A and B are shown apart, each in its own frame.
Chain A
């Protein structure tokens, strides 16, 4: 069974500072990896995804993430955050096994990013 661990439940940072949101996963099979963002009172939207190829993935709004297979991690980074990045961020995995649960996402518990002026 897969699982996703987001190591920080809350991350406060000042505007224009860099940020890293950490995500580790465990799985007995190869996985696809995703980061979703949830702005206040809204649904989730996709930030970026890793399917294959380059381990550095660039997403929307200046975010990027690096897949590290040996450390089973998929940390999200942004070099300079804005007030508008205040949101909750979810890491998720989906396995490559095309069985009955194909397409199902397993989510982490989320990290609340709070950007202060």
Chain B
């Protein structure tokens, strides 16, 4: 089944403890992206990647890192999480880098930082 998977689905952690949220897609998509969803703010893009080893900042990149060493994986790294990073995170992928392509979303990771 074609899909985007994220792990973990739920995570509670403490301030300052490094964490990684994994994202993997099995559709051979070039484009991948991370969003955070907060009530009343919709989805905001954190980072995106147009291909392997090519990443760029989205609208809210502060406090996050990403890497794209393989086409299928795009992990999101929080080196020193803070409570304001408590949010619902979505990974998405797309077949191409043109704006016409549909993005396919993972099921989400709910992160709580205390």
Contacts and interface: CB of A to CB of B under 8 A. Distances in A.
Interface of A: 6, 9, 31-32, 34, 36, 41-46, 49, 51, 90, 94-96, 98, 100-105, 107-110
Nearest to A31: B99
Contact of B100 (A9, A41, A51): A51
A112 to B, nearest CB: 10
A100 B56 contact: yes
Nearest to B31: A103
B41 interface: yes
B105 A44 contact: yes
Contacts of A94: 99-100
Given A32-B100, A49-B102, A102-B99, A44 B42 contact: no
Contacts of A102: 50, 97-99
A70 B98 CA distance: 24
B99 A109 contact: no
A42 B107 contact: yes
A107 B97 contact: no
- Contact residues on B (Cβ < 8 Å of other chain), bracket: 20 to 34
Contact of A90 (B42, B50, B100): B42
Interface string B65-102: 00000000000000000000000001010101111111
Contacts of A32: 99-100
Given A43-B105, A43-B107, A44-B105, A107 B42 contact: yes
8 contacts: A44-B105, A49-B100, A90-B43, A98-B99, A101-B56, A103-B48, A103-B101, A104-B99
Contacts of B7: none
Given A103-B97, A104-B58, 6 more contacts: A9-B40, A43-B108, A49-B100, A103-B31, A103-B99, A108-B42
